[in-house]
Amino acid sequence: QETPTDMTYTVTAQAGETQLLPGPKTKTWGYNTSILGKTIVFKDGKNIHVTLKNQLPEVTTFHWHGLNVSGPIVDGGCHAPIYPGESHQIDFKCDQVAATLWLHAHPCPETAEQVWRGLAAMVIVQDKTESQLPFPRNYGVDDIPLVLQDRRFHQNNQLDYMADYDPDGVQGPTPMINGTINPYFDVTTQRLRLRILDGANRREWRLHFSDNLKFTQIASDGGILPEPVDFTHLMLTCAERAEILVDFSQYQPGDEVTLYSDDVPLVHFRIHQFAKDDTKLPDHLVEIPDPPVTPNTKVHQVVMSGMDEQVEINGTKFDMQRIDDKQKIGNVEYWDISNTNDKSTGMIHPYHMHATQFRIVSRNGHAPYPNERGLKDTVGVNPGETVRLKVGFNKLGVFMNHCHILEHEDGGMMAQFEVY
Ligand code: C2O
Ligand code: CU
Ligand code: CU
C-alpha cells in the first residue's frame, strides 16, 4: 500500500514448487511465490515498512543488496536472523538515487544454498531525476528485469545443492532467467530497457546479442551513469547490475534476436510490430557526487587471497565477533582491493560492500572501464589486480564486505566494518 509518504510491504520467504522443465515440478524457495519474487519498487524519500516473514524450515535473513540503510538489522546480513515461523518488521527511509538493486537471503554460512534454492528478487528504486530522463519505464512492456542464474537439474528435475557443491562456487549448465528456462520475450516497442542482474552463485556472464547488435548501458549497480556507454559485449560478475537500452529498429516483425552469454542462448526476443521511436539520449545523464577524501586517512587495504577452502580477506576468515575496521560517519576513504590470485589460472573475485555505493578510481593504476564511472556496490577484481575505490560511509551500523561468489562468502572471504 502507498500513502503520500509511506509504502508498506510484506515479504514471506516460503517453500514451493515450480514448473521449470517438462515433467515433475522442481522444489524451490521464493519470496511470496515459489521461486525468486516479484520486483519490489521503492521510491526515494518514502518511509518504507516491510514485514519479513520466514515460513521456511530454517533460519534466513533478508538482505537488501545495494540499499543505503542504517543498522545491520535493516540491512539484513547475518546479524539479522529470522527463525522459522517468525516475522519481523523493518522501517527505513528510502534515501538514494534511482537504481536496480536486489533482495537475497544472507544467513552465514547458508547464503549460497538459500540463493540457489531461489531466495532472490529484484528491487527497483525510483526517483525524480530518473523519471525525467528519456528512458523506457513501462514495467513488463519496455522495462524488463533479467535475473541471470544457472542451475543443474538432477533426477525428477530437482536441485541438489550438496551434490553440486564446489567451494569455488556452484554452477549449472542450464541458464535460468527470471526463474524460467529458455524464455522468450515479445518485443512490442522499438526500444527496450533491460535491468540485468547477475544473480548467479559464481558465474560471470559475457553478454552479447545476435548480429552483435549494439546496446547502450545507462546504469550500473548504484544508479544512472554520468554518460551512456555503447557496447556490443558486456561482462557482469556476481551481484553486478547493468541497465541497458536495446534498439530494435533494424528488425522486422517475425525476426528473432537472441541474448547470449558466450555461445549459450539466454533469452529470445521475438520482434513484433512497433511504433517508430526517435528518442535520443542526452550525452550527459546525471551528475555523480564526488566528495573529497577525508584528510589524514590512510589508504585502506583489502587483500582477497586464495581459492576453494583457502579463501581469506587480509589473511583471515570472517568472524562475526570481530570488527575488522571502524569508520566515523561521513568518512570518505580510498580502499585498495586486491586479488592475489595467479593471473592466468586464478578466479575473479567480485568484491561487494554493504550500506554504501562507492566509485571506482582506478584498476592497477589505469582508468576504470567507461561503464565504471557511476555508483557501484560490487566490482569484479581480476586476478593479479588492485582496484582503488573511493568509499563514503554514511550509514551507522555494522556491515559486511565480501567476495560475492556466494561460496567464497560462506567460506569466510568476508569482513565487517562498523560506522559510528
Ligand atoms: Cu549481496 Cu553481503 O551481499
Ligand atoms: Cu549486499
Ligand atoms: Cu571470491
392: domain CATH number is 2.60.40.420
Based on the fold, state whether residues 120 and 147 are members of the same structural domain: no
The ligand 1 atom nearest the CA atom of 77: 2
pLDDT at 345: 87
Last residue of a domain, one of 92, 127, 162: 127
Produce one character per residue of 201-228: b if its CB has 16 or more CB atoms within 10 Å, e if not: bbbbbebbbeeebebbbbbbbbbbbebb
- Nearest alpha carbon, ligand 1 atom 3: 65
pLDDT, residue 3, reads: 85
Residue 340 and residue 263 share a domain: no
Atom of ligand 1 nearest to the CA of 104: 1
Q: Please indicate, yes or no, whether residues 207 and 114 belong to a single structural domain of this protein.
A: no
> Alpha carbon of 25 to those of 30, 120, 214, 238: distances in Å?
14, 19, 37, 27
Say whether both 195 and 234 belong to one domain. Answer: yes
Domain boundary among 100, 127, 154: 127
Q: How far is the CA of 66 from the centre of ligand 2 (A)?
A: 6
pTM tops 0.90: yes
Answer whether residue 14 is part of any domain. yes
Are 84 and 21 contained in the same domain? yes
* 214 shares a domain with 241: yes
Domain that holds residue 319: 300-419
Cell 555494522, residue? Answer: 398
Number of domains, the chain: 3
For ligand 3, the distance from its centroid to the CA atom of residue 106, given in whole angstroms, is 16
Identify whether residues 110 and 175 lie together within a single domain. no
Which grid cell is 306?
A: 586464495
Confirm whether 96 is domain-assigned: yes
Q: Residues enclosing ligand 1, CB less than 6 A?
A: 63, 65, 77, 104, 106, 239, 352, 354, 400, 402, 404
**Is the distance from CB of 253 to CB of 273 less than 8 angstroms?**
yes
Nearest CA to ligand 1 atom 1: 65
Q: Residue-wise pLDDT tens for the chain (420 aa)?
A: 678 899 999 999 999 999 999 999 999 999 999 999 999 999 999 999 999 999 999 999 999 999 999 999 999 999 999 999 999 999 999 999 999 999 999 999 999 999 999 999 999 999 999 999 999 999 999 999 999 999 999 999 999 999 999 999 999 999 999 999 999 999 999 999 999 999 999 999 999 999 999 999 999 999 999 999 999 999 999 999 999 999 999 999 999 999 999 999 999 999 999 999 999 999 999 999 999 999 999 999 999 999 999 999 999 999 999 999 999 999 999 999 999 999 888 999 999 999 999 999 999 999 999 999 999 999 999 999 999 999 999 999 999 999 999 999 999 999 999 999
Rounded to the nearest angstrom, the distance between the alpha carbon of 61 and the centre of ligand 2 is 12
- Looking at the DSSP bridge assignments, the partners of residue 49 are 8, 91
Report if residue 395 sits inside a domain.
Answer: yes
Task: State whether the Cα torsion 140-51-200-215 is positive or negative.
Answer: positive
Residue 244 bridge partners (DSSP): 194, 217
Domain match, 233 and 119 both:
no
Amino acid at 9: Y
Residues 253 and 304 in one domain: no
In angstroms, what is the span from residue 197 Cα to ligand 1's centroid? 13
Question: Which atom number of ligand 1 is nearest to the Cα of residue 65?
Answer: 1
Whether residues 195 and 147 fall in one domain: yes
Residue 372 within any structural domain of the chain: yes
Across 117-190, where does the E strand assignment appear? Answer: 120-126, 143-151, 174-177, 180-181, 184-187
Give the distance (Å) from ligand 1 centre to CA of residue 24: 32
Asked whether residue 414 is assigned to any structural domain, the reply reads yes
Whether 138 is in a domain gets the answer no
Phi/psi of residue 115, nearest 5 degrees? -65, -40
pLDDT given at position 233:
98
The domain boundary, picked from 103, 127, 151, lies at 127
Judge if 249 and 160 occupy the same domain: yes
Q: What is the pLDDT of residue 328?
A: 97
pLDDT of residue 2: 79
- Answer yes or no: is 137 within a domain: no
**Domain co-membership, 163 together with 105:** no
**132 within a domain of the structure (yes/no):** no
- Residue 348 Cα to ligand 3 midpoint, Å, equals 7
Nearest ligand to the C-alpha of residue 240? Answer: 1
Q: Which ligand is nearest to the CA of 405?
A: 3
- CA atoms within 13 Å, Cβ hemisphere of 129: 17
